[in-house]
Structure 1
Amino acid sequence: MLCTLSNLKKQDIEEIKTLEQETGHIVLAFSCHKSKPSLVDKNTLEKIQSLENKLGLSLVAVEL
């Protein structure tokens, strides 16, 4: 399973902000998706890692 920060509607954001104000805690919203990681060869892994370093992101190769 792979989780990312959610793309929220304005109403969802407002409800989360209200919860944050009530609790005094920052709340992050994640959406999770079923996915199967791909098995990649060393060359592909190096390319993925190189782009991760360049972009400052984590990248995951998955099966469709």
Structure 2
Amino acid sequence: MSEKQPPGTTVTVSDTHHAPFIYVEQAPSCGNNGGIINVTLAAYRHIPGGSGKVATDLVVTAHMR
């Protein structure tokens, strides 16, 4: 569990330029299991199909804990 920071405290975050970009349009599932928060992120995917139609489906892009 994270410690609560006193007011006025800042947290420094460094960027290694290797963290992936996660494309997300919704979080269809989230919860708390034994004090651990979990979130599933998802995005729509558009796939060209036959006869000029486009199929759309929702795919998971990340599971966060």
TM-score normalised over the length of structure 2: 0.22
Higher relative contact order (CA 8 A, sep 6+): 1
TM-score normalised over the length of structure 1: 0.22
Greater strand proportion? 2
Task: Report the structure number with the largest CA radius of gyration.
Answer: 2
Greater helix proportion? 1
